[in-house]
Structure 1
Amino acid sequence: PRNYSTALMYSFNQRPDTVAIDEPFYGIWIDRLITSQYGCLKDEVEFFDWLKATTKQDPIVVDGNEIRKDPKSVLTQICNRLDLPFLDEMLSWPIGPKSCDGVWAKFWYNDVHSTTGFRPLSGIKITENDVPTEHIPFYREVLPYYQKLLAHSIRT
């Protein structure tokens, strides 16, 4: 799926002990994101730092490429961190809309609705050379935030 947060929600929705709920305020957040200088990564790093300071534990960070590379390994590590048993059912879901889909599903989830699991990693690696010239300043500004979160992400 193009949207790995939705795929992760679908994965946990397969558990009999879990109820997944989609984020109903995402559209409002997107409107603010578009006008934001740093996008969401600065806010995510600040939230990561706050959670770490508050809980004295590293928050769980999942990189979309890692979960595509080895879904079972990443999901097992997430479950271990949450003190939950990993279930094989988390690796797949039925095709089509889900009961946990939120109000945005009909606009954004066509791709994820066509899947039954995590798609394999494509092997495409994005570098600064792939970024349109007009977006390079923004790319350079947010890259340190991305790199900080990536350094704390679950690895396979």
Structure 2
Amino acid sequence: MSKHIAMWSGPRNISTAMMRSFENRSDTCVVDEPFYGYYLAQTGLDHPMAAEVMADQANDWQTVASQMAADFDEPVCYQKMMTHHMLDDVDFHWCKDFTHCFLIRDPRYVINSYIKKMPTVNNDDIGIIKQHQLYKQISDISGQQIPIIDSKDVLLNPRGMLKALCQQLQIDFEENMLNWPKGRRDSDGVWASHWYHNVENSTGFAKFSEPDLQLNEQHLLLAEENMPYYHDLYSKRLQPVDD
């Protein structure tokens, strides 16, 4: 029986780099944003390549949940989950026995990156408030002490943070999680050509540098509104393991 790992993240948050890291393990397959088609079908949002996404994936959450809960050929199945894709009708008991983790990022950095790809941004788009809600909800359903990792911590100390995370997930750390071959993957979602340019050119986690924030007043107010939810999750975040 495969070990199902669900990594719950918002957009623009090294989530694809984390997926690359896990896919480069010797025992792991990955699934890229399996609920995206459902999310677009339900909301009708005008996202890049929306028609292609909905044609490529099941558009009802029950079918996707059954697919994700099925057994996989590899010992570990890492599932990259976007919190904003999970609408209010989803019942999370389907993933009660999954191993969960949450990936967070400063709202200012998320918004700054998001507006480079999309013309507008709001709370639903960045999913931080939803992420805070899901952390409580999934913790209650699963009964787990779910680890939280911050993207800045990962970029500052990839080995230490991945070691700490692997300990929490009860899997062995593998050195090849730190680097991966450049290029696109068959496992990437059909939307990769719009969103994944930086990751496709990467061979490992980028060194952290403070972003040059280009935020207007509306963006700053949005970041301020999300900050308490981020800070609450941040206060519970995992610390790196020393070598």
The verdict on a shared fold, with TM-score over 0.5 as the criterion, is: yes
- Residue 229 of structure 2 aligns with which residue? 145
1:25-36 equivalence runs, <5 A? 25-26=35-36, 28=39, 31=45, 34=121, 36=123
The Cα of 1:126 is off from its aligned counterpart by 8.0
Does the CA contact (< 8 Å) of 1:66 and 1:154 recur in 2? no
Describe the SS at the equivalent of 1:16.
Answer: coil
Q: Which has the higher helix share?
A: 1
Amino acid at match of 1:72: R
Q: Residue 106 and residue 126 in structure 1: after superposition, are their counterparts in 2 closer, same or farther (change >3 A)? A: closer
Q: What residue is the counterpart of 1:111 in the other structure?
A: 198
Please tell me whether residue 92 in structure 1 is matched to residue 179 in structure 2. yes
Q: Percent identity?
A: 31
8 Å Cα contact 1:12/1:20 also seen in 2: yes
Find out whether 1:19 has 2:29 as its counterpart: yes
Task: Describe the SS at the equivalent of 1:152.
Answer: coil
**More moved, 31-40 vs 9-18:** 31-40
Query: 1:81 is matched with which residue: 168, 177, 186?
Result: 168
- RMSD value, Cα: 2.6
CA apart distance, 1:144 = 0.3
* Structure 1: runs of 5 or more not aligned: none
Q: Would you say how many aligned residue pairs link Structure 1 and Structure 2?
A: 152
Q: Please report how far the alpha carbon of residue 131 of structure 1 lies from its aligned counterpart in structure 2 after TM superposition.
A: 4.2
1:18-57 matched pairs, under 5 angstroms? 18-26=28-36, 28=39, 31=45, 34=121, 36=123, 39-57=126-144
Letter in 1 for 2:222: F
Cα offset for 1:57? 2.8
After superposition, the C-alpha distances for 1:7-52 in whole angstroms (9 at most, x for unaligned) are 0000000112110111144374694965646841111111101122
The letter for the 2-side match of 1:19 is C
- CA distance, structure 2, for counterparts of residue 142 and residue 126 of structure 1: 19
* Distance (Å, rounded) in 2 between the aligned partners of 1:88 and 1:39: 31
Which string of whole-angstrom CA distances, capped at 9 and with x for unpartnered residues, describes residues 91-134 of structure 1? 00001112221111111111101010001111x2789xx74223
Residues 109/39 of structure 1: CA separation in 2 closer, same or farther (3 Å cut):
closer
| Equivalent residues of 1:94, 1:116 under 8 A apart | yes
TM-score between both structures, scaled by the size of structure 1: 0.84
The correspondence for 2:16, drawn from 6, 11, 26, is 6
Letter in 2 for 1:6: T
Q: Following the alignment from structure 2 to structure 1, what is the Cα–Cα distance between the partners of residues 14 and 125?
A: 21
Contact kept in structure 2, 1:60 and 1:153, CA below 8 Å: yes
d(CA) in 2 for partners of 1:111, 1:39: 19
CA contact (8 A) 2:123 2:129 kept: no
